[in-house]
Amino acid sequence: MSDTIDSTSLPDDFDPWEHLQKQYNTQHNLLVRKYFSDHDDNWVPNIGDPRSGLRTAVTMQDTDNDAIRSLRHNFFYDLLGYGRKNLLVYYGSKETIEPPVEGHPKIVFYFSQDSASVPSTQDYKADAEYSVRLMDLENTSTNLHSKLVEIANEIKTQFLEGKQGIILTKGNLGVIYKDPKHGFSNGRRILASTEADAIDIYRRMCNVIDAPFDEEKITIANPKKPSTVGNVTETQIIMGKTRKKRGYRRVVNVRFRYAYALIPGEPQPVFLIDTTYRYNPLVKI
Examine the domain organization and report whether 22 and 78 are in the same domain: yes
Assess if residue 3 is contained within a domain: no
Of 84, 107, 126, which marks where a domain is finished?
84
Whole-angstrom distance, CA of residue 28 vs CA of residue 226: 51
Number of H helices, E strands in the chain: 5, 12
Q: Which residues of the chain have pLDDT under 70?
A: 1-8, 81-102, 117-124, 226-233, 242, 244-249
- For residue 73, the tally of other CB atoms under 10 A from its CB is 16
Q: What is the pLDDT of residue 8?
A: 67
Examine the domain organization and report whether 157 and 37 are in the same domain: no
Q: Tell me the pLDDT tens digit for each residue of 48-88.
A: 777 788 888 888 988 888 888 889 888 887 777 666 655 55
Q: What is the pLDDT of residue 117?
A: 66
Q: Tell me the pLDDT tens digit for each residue of 2-34.
A: 566 666 677 877 888 888 888 888 888 888 888
Examine the domain organization and report whether 150 and 125 are in the same domain: yes
Q: What is the pLDDT of residue 115?
A: 74
Domain of 240 in residue numbering reads as 96-227+236-274
Examine the domain organization and report whether 153 and 17 are in the same domain: no
Q: What is the pLDDT of residue 58?
A: 87
Examine the domain organization and report whether 73 and 113 are in the same domain: no
Examine the domain organization and report whether 244 and 133 are in the same domain: yes
Q: What is the pLDDT of residue 226?
A: 66
Closest CA to 17 of 74, 68, 65, 75: 65
Assess if residue 123 is contained within a domain: yes
Number of domains observed in the structure of the chain: 2
CA torsion 245-248-250-254 (nearest 10°) is: 80
Closest CA to 166 of 157, 174, 175, 178: 157
As a three-state string, the secondary structure of 222-256 is CCCCCCCCCCCCCEEEECCEEEECCCCCCCEEEEE
Examine the domain organization and report whether 102 and 209 are in the same domain: yes
Q: What is the pLDDT of residue 84?
A: 62
